[in-house]
Each structure stands twice: as C-alpha cells, then as structure tokens.
A = this chain, B = another copy of it.
Amino acid sequence: MPALFNQITFIGIGLIGSSIARVIKQNKLTDKLVAFDTNTHNNNMALELGIIDEKADNLIDAVKDADLIMICTPVKTYKNIATAIAPHLKEGVIISDVGSVKSSVIKEIEPLLPPTAHFVPGHPIAGTEKSGPESGFAELFTGRWFIFTPTKNTSLEALDKVSKIWESAGMQITKMPAEHHDKIMAAVSHLPHLIAYTIVGTADDLRDEELSEVIKYSAGGFRDFTRIAGSDPIMWRDIFLSNKDAILEVLQRFNEDLIALQRAIRWDDGETLEKLFTRTRKIRKEIIDAGQHQPENEKILLSQQTKKD
C-alpha cells in the first residue's frame, strides 16, 4: 500500500500523539513524520526514540508542508494553535485531533480555519495515566473505540483517510454528534476522573502519618482511584472547563445517589445497599463481556506473554 500522506505533522507529541505516531511509522502511513511540541523535552525525546523523522522549531515550520495535522495538545490550546497556523496551511490540508471534549473545540476552531482546510474532529477512547512520548506505545489503542464527531462541513473523504490511521491501530470506529459525545464522556470519563481526583485529594489532606498509612494499605481499594487521579493535570483542567455543563449535570445526579446511599447507611437500611451492590456487579460483568475491562498496562503484559507462547 502506498503511504496515505506525504507529510503528517503532530502538534503535541505526548502520550497519545507519540503512541499513534508509532502506529503510523510501523505501518508506513506517511512518507514523513514531523512534530512540534512547546515542551522541548517531548520534541527531543520523540526524535531520539525514532518515533518521528523531524522535529520543527516552530508551529509554522511544522505545518506549512503537512497534508495531515494531528493536534494532540490540551483542548484549551486549540484556539491559539488554529489562529497561529491558519495563514500557513497547504490547500486541502486535513486537520484532526484527539481531544476529550468536542463541542466547544469545534465551536472555537472551525471558524478560524480557511475553507480549503478539512477539519475532522475525533477522540480515541484509550489512554493511561502516564505522560510524555517515552510512555507511549503502539498497542495502546487495540480493541478500543475511536469516536468521530463530524460537523456539517467535514469532508467524508478526509474522515475516511484519518479513519484508516486509527483502524490500523486496531481501533473500532464510530461516529456521533459532538454534543452526544460530550454527554456520554461526562458520565464515562469526566465524572470518574473528577471523583478520583476528589477522593485522592481528600486523603492528601490527612495528617502525614495517616496519609502514609493510606498509601501502605491502598490495595484495599483506594489504589484503583489513584491510577486515573495520576493523569496529566493541565489536560484534565482543560477538559473540566471545556465540558462544564455536561459535567455539572451528571455530577448532580451522582450527588443525589450518594446522598441516598449515605442515608441508607445512617438508617441501617441493608436492603437498599444490597440491592444496589447486586445491580452494579452486573455492569462489571457486561464490561468484561465487552472486552473493555483490561487496563492498558495489563494488555502489554498479556501481549508479551502471547509472543512467548
């Protein structure tokens, strides 16, 4: 198969950017792979690891010859990036992204791009709590879902080309309106992160001695929350601020449910507790049946084992 693109440029080459860049390299989907990251460590490391062919010194050099630009930075940076690159784009360039929030992003950057550029908003539902190109790996996406949230201007042909990249990473592809994406992600990803950050923060407020005990005994359950509460702070700050309405709504529902449970505990209502705990067990089973239960680092272990067998 000939390369899909002459030049792909990554703006931001952290965990997600470097992981999909690895897939692109392995499958020879572009003749040339360029990256620009304001974090020079990321830029240098990506080049050193052989994930990219070239690092650019500035945004304009990075994008001017690109056929595909992949924005892999925190969502609140998009506006500045779009403003800076808009006058320097090749005609027919495709601009895609991996941001966890879609409506606000589309609203912000679509009007800034020239009509000859094709914007293809997307979001791979995969990740780990780690950051930086040294933490990325090609298997990150295997078996997970990629969601496109095309706008009324999105070219189907451009979407198909970007889609081939994520398919080659082993992802299942789906499409939905940006608003629906943001609502589902508020429940499935943003609320869990918010809760995890809260509970870990609550523990961090304990006296030093108690905190050291919490860490010692974290296998009791606390540990499960710290994984996602170890995610990139800037990225998540931006997500919460960019999907505010959907998050505040689902948070309200969570609060009501938590208060109901609190009341059941206070009034020794074992029946209510048992009923809920039986329902939630069923959902865990459904997630296992859907093959979505394995953390990414466990997937690596498994794939290494299979290679040995």
- Residues of A with Cβ closer than 8 Å to B? 100, 125-127, 129, 144-145, 147, 184-185, 187-206, 210-211, 213-231, 233-234, 236-238, 240-241, 244, 247-248, 250-251, 253-255, 257-258, 261-262, 265-266, 268, 270, 273-274, 276-287, 290, 292-293, 295, 297-298, 301-302, 304-305, 308
CB distance from A223 to the nearest CB of B (A): 6
Give Cα distance in the complex from A278 to B184, angstroms. Answer: 26
| Contact across chains for A222 and B189 when beta carbons are under 8 A apart | yes
Q: A126-B219, A200-B283, A284-B230 are in contact. Are A206 and B187 (CB under 8 A)?
A: yes
| Contact across chains for B254 and A199 when beta carbons are under 8 A apart | yes
Q: Which residues of the partner chain B approach A274 to less than 8 Å between Cβ atoms?
A: 233-234, 237
CB distance from A262 to the nearest CB of B (A): 6
| Contact across chains for B226 and A283 when beta carbons are under 8 A apart | yes
| Contact across chains for B297 and A261 when beta carbons are under 8 A apart | no
Give Cα distance in the complex from A185 to B297, angstroms. Answer: 27
| Contact across chains for B217 and A184 when beta carbons are under 8 A apart | yes
> Which A-B residue pairs are the 4 nearest by beta carbons?
A230-B284, A189-B220, A233-B277, A192-B221
Q: A187-B206, A224-B227, A254-B198 are in contact. Are A292 and B244 (CB under 8 A)?
A: no
| Contact across chains for B192 and A225 when beta carbons are under 8 A apart | yes
Give Cα distance in the complex from A233 to B276, angstroms. Answer: 8
Q: A218-B292, A258-B198 are in contact. Are A277 and B236 (CB under 8 A)?
A: yes
Chain A to chain B contacts (Cβ below 8 Å), 17 pairs: A127-B220, A129-B284, A184-B217, A189-B222, A198-B261, A199-B254, A202-B257, A218-B290, A231-B281, A233-B278, A247-B265, A251-B258, A251-B262, A298-B298, A305-B305, A305-B308, A308-B308
Give Cα distance in the complex from A224 to B284, angstroms. Answer: 10
Give Cα distance in the complex from A162 to B194, angstroms. Answer: 41
Q: Which residues of the partner chain B approach A266 to less than 8 Å between Cβ atoms?
A: 244, 248
CB distance from A248 to the nearest CB of B (A): 6
Interface centre among A189, A222, A282, A308 (most CB of B within 10 A): A222
| Contact across chains for B188 and A214 when beta carbons are under 8 A apart | yes
| Contact across chains for A230 and B192 when beta carbons are under 8 A apart | no
| Contact across chains for B233 and A281 when beta carbons are under 8 A apart | yes
CB within 8 A of A192: which of B126, B144, B222?
B222
CB distance from A280 to the nearest CB of B (A): 4
Give Cα distance in the complex from A293 to B147, angstroms. Answer: 30
CB distance from A210 to the nearest CB of B (A): 7
CB within 8 A of A197: which of B233, B276, B285?
B276
Q: A195-B258, A224-B228 are in contact. Are A203 and B283 (CB under 8 A)?
A: yes
| Contact across chains for A218 and B253 when beta carbons are under 8 A apart | no
Q: A145-B216, A189-B222, A261-B198 are in contact. Are A284 and B248 (CB under 8 A)?
A: no
Give Cα distance in the complex from A214 to B147, angstroms. Answer: 13
